[in-house]
Chain A
Amino acid sequence: MILFKMAWRNNWRHKWRSALTIAAIVFGLSLTVWGFCLTEGSHEQMIRNSVESFSGHIQINRKGYQDDPSLRKSFKPDSALYRILENHRPDLADWGARITTFALASVGETSFAAMVVGIEPEREARFIHWDRKIAKGEYLRPQDMNGVLVGEDLADNLGVGLGDTVIVVTQNFYGSLAGALRVVRGIFRSHSPELDRGGMLMNLFSAQDMLSMDGRVNTIVVMTSSGEQVDPVSRSLAAALQGQDMEIIPWYEILPDLVQAVELDNIFGLLTNAILILVIGFMVLNTFLMGVLERIREFGIMRSLGASPGKVVGLIALEAVLLNGLGFLLGNVIGLAVSWYNSIHPLDLSSLGEDVYKMYGVDPRIYTHLTWGTVFYPNLFVMVIIMLALIYPAWRASRIKPAEAVARIR
């Protein structure tokens, strides 16, 4: 109890120094917590944007399709498969069948490579929201045999507008050259520059007819109710479809670039935070080392009065706990408060250049995301660095020889 009293009073002896140390911890910790929440939030947004722009959470293909995405690697979805999908609701929120192939799109003498995607328009409107991405014209009607939606940049390159006819030439399922005439019903602008530059969407049966697919599809795109459901639903679908020559691919295997971008960004974030935390560590070291060195005589008297070296170290540790405890408390409160605020009112970075964000498929308004990790890890890192910073001052204090120390002028 006496130790606690002494520690409390010692901290109050240097109000400014204590206040500055606390401020450093508060500043560093709250900034790190907020930074972690912001990074986590922006990554989640990035992933959601990518997943919702085309790939979906999970794709079901014939085995080997991801390595060799050809029309040959296709299958006829049957009622058993539909039943399996329906049985996975509500964790499995939505799904839609697709055909994807490459083609040459021509208008007059102009030709461009295009990615033709046959979709089920009503289904995909629910999770890819193509209907909200229509910049001009209208969305595909379910019965529309001849209609096509063209990416904005592809439409510009081809010089087509609404109602114009595009010639699509490609190889059909059997490997023969096949062609079709399609009428532009709408022009879309998505989050994906690649789709805008080369995407053509048509009804699934319209693509099946053009490509002689006879009811076959390449992919069933699945959207789960949340990101956390991706793995459980994937595992369960894989178990249900076992032995059927099918593969179930989660988004992180479809979009390895995105995973790498997130990992790289995590490393940069960690580096920035590490520097910040290191600076705080040195500030704390500075305060405590000074506090020990200027009180050598005082500690000598303590020892002379019968206090053990452990008591002296204990006193210093207690001072640190009091000071840092307050810093941690305030740091977490402020960090969490700001993070929580930004999870409702996003941080708007659009003034820093909208084009850059569009290029990477990121919304310039970033919502923070609070998880246990985004609070726990900053606390852990700051705690560890402060402990490290305390080792040397405490060691110095424990080595004090009472006679020598008392004999010192100060």
Chain B
Amino acid sequence: MKLVIKTLIFFLICIFNYSSAETVVNDTTLARRIVEHADTLMRGTSNYGVYRMTVVRPDWSRSMTMESWEKKEADVSFIEVIEPPKEAGTAFLKREGQMWNWLPDIERTIKIPPSMMMDSWMGSDFTNDDLVHESSIINDYSHAILGADTLDGVLSYGVQLTPKPDTPVVWDRIVIWVGADNFMPLKEEYYDEKGRLIRTMYLKNVRKISGREFPTLWILEPHLKPGQRTEFEILKIEINVEIPDRIFTRQHLERSR
């Protein structure tokens, strides 16, 4: 009799576990479309923006203003620092999975070598790799819906991104939370291969900017480095604008400014 009860409990536990695992809805097409949609909302096919990046450290913080151009299908982007004066004119060109850095003080271009890909980008909590590989969240990962939750009182869906086999990616798992009503991203969580939550990006302060709703404050928090964070304040954003191709060339990067 005892054995029967034990077996019964064992089966019940199995079923319970199985059903909780089932909350991961394996509707990959839907999950993929949510990520695609969010990505389109944030970046469009092309975009132009002005941001203020603030790097916060326990004993100091520093702000820089920069202008950015991006064309998604061509996988190219161009960023130029406009403030502070000491750094003004510093520019980055991303093209064909590589990045070049123009340093006006020495009037030279430096190609960011593979060994520096994991180094900090401009002293922020972003790495050079973040900038170069940003567009691969759709093609390099498989997507699954993780479930629903309320974030800051907003119903949102979590989509889990796991890298496809043989894809050279940094993260073992990314979870993107999007608002249930508009699929606007609210939070992105990055996990390493040990399952640790390494960093979280919060997208906040949704306001009407350049004629559309947009999260205007992005905060990246590395969890292993207390007291550190990087904030992006979106001062201007134009999605799906016409950008001439010559912006994304070495000649433009190196033209005298």
B interface, how many residues as a size bin?
A: 10 to 19
- From the candidates B62, B101, B124, name the one contacting A177 in the complex (CB within 8 A): B101
Tell me, yes or no, whether B2 is within 8 Å of chain A by CB: no
Residues on the A chain within 8 Å of B103, using CB = 169, 177-179
Q: Which residues of A contact B110 (CB under 8 A)?
A: 169, 177, 179
CB pair A174–B62 under 8 Å, yes or no, is yes
The B46-63 residues at the A interface (CB cut-off 8 A) are: 55, 62
Q: Which residues of A contact B62 (CB under 8 A)?
A: 174
Closest-CB distance, A217 to chain B (whole angstroms): 16
Residues of B within 8 A of A172 (CB): 123
CB 8 Å contact bits of A125-152 with B (1 = contact, 0 = none): 0000000000000000000000000000
Given A177-B101, A212-B86, A169-B106 contact (CB < 8 Å): yes
A58 to B110, CA, bound (A): 38
The distance from the CB of A380 to the nearest CB of chain B, in whole angstroms, is 55
Looking at the assembled complex, report how far the CB atom of A246 sits from the nearest CB atom of chain B, in whole angstroms: 14
Residues 79-111 of chain B: 1 if any A CB is under 8 Å from the residue's CB, otherwise 0?
A: 000000011001000000000010101101010
Residues of B within 8 A of A177 (CB): 101, 103, 110
Q: Judging by beta carbons under 8 Å apart, are A174 and B122 in contact?
A: yes
**A110 contacts the other chain (CB 8 A):** no
A175 contacts partner chain B, Cβ-Cβ < 8 Å: yes
Whether the pair A181, B105 counts as a contact (CB closer than 8 A) is yes
Do the beta carbons of B87 and A176 come within 8 Å of each other?
A: yes
Bound-state Cα–Cα, A178 to B103, Å = 7
Q: Shortest distance in angstroms between A227's beta carbon and chain B's nearest beta carbon?
A: 36
A182: nearest chain-B partner, CB-CB: B106
Partner of B123, one of A167, A168, A175, A180: A175
| Known A174-B55, A174-B62, A212-B86: A179·B106 in contact at CB below 8 Å | yes
Does A179 lie within 8 Å of B108, measured CB to CB?
yes
- Does residue B120 face the partner (Cβ distance < 8 Å to A)? yes
User: With A174-B123, A175-B120, A175-B122 in contact, is A181–B90 under 8 Å at CB?
Assistant: no
C-beta contact mask, B105-144 vs A, less than 8 Å → 1, else 0?
Answer: 1101010000000001011100000000000000000000
CB distance from B107 to the nearest CB of A (A): 8
Q: Check B90 against A167 for contact (C-beta < 8 Å).
A: no
List residues of A (166-196) whose CB comes within 8 Å of B's CBs. 167-169, 171-172, 174-181
| Alpha-carbon distance A79/B87, docked complex (angstroms) | 30
CB <8 Å contact, A167 and B108: yes
The reply to whether A167 and B106 form a contact with Cβ atoms under 8 Å apart is yes
C-alpha spacing A176/B108, complex, angstroms: 15
A177 to B123 Cα, complex, angstroms: 9
Docked Cα-Cα span, A169 to B113, in Å, equals 14
Docked complex Cα distance between A174 and B86 (Å): 12
B86 / chain A contacts, CB cutoff of 8 Å: 212
Chain B hits for A174, CB < 8 A: 55, 62, 122-123
Q: In whole angstroms, what is the CA distance A172 to B62 when docked?
A: 13
Are A179 and B105 in contact, CB atoms less than 8 angstroms apart? yes
- The complex places the Cα of A169 from the Cα of B55 at a distance, in Å, of 22
B123: chain A residues at CB < 8 Å are: 171-172, 174-176
From A176, A180, A210, contact of B90 by CB (8 A)? A176
Q: Nearest A residue to B59 by beta-carbon distance?
A: A72
A176 to B103: give the CA distance in the assembly, Å: 10
User: In chain B, what residue has the closest Cβ to A166?
Assistant: B106
**Distance in Å from the Cβ of A116 to the closest Cβ of chain B?**
14
Question: Which residues of chain B are within 8 angstroms of A169 by Cβ–Cβ distance?
Answer: 103, 106, 108, 110
Residue of B with least CB distance to A169: B110
Some 11 contacts from A to B, beta carbons below 8 A apart, are: A167-B108, A169-B110, A172-B123, A174-B55, A174-B122, A174-B123, A175-B123, A176-B90, A178-B105, A179-B110, A212-B86
Q: List 18 extra interface pairs beyond A169-B103, A174-B55, A179-B103, CB under 8 A.
A: A167-B108, A168-B106, A171-B123, A175-B122, A175-B124, A176-B87, A176-B122, A176-B123, A177-B101, A177-B103, A177-B110, A178-B105, A179-B105, A179-B106, A179-B108, A181-B105, A181-B106, A212-B86
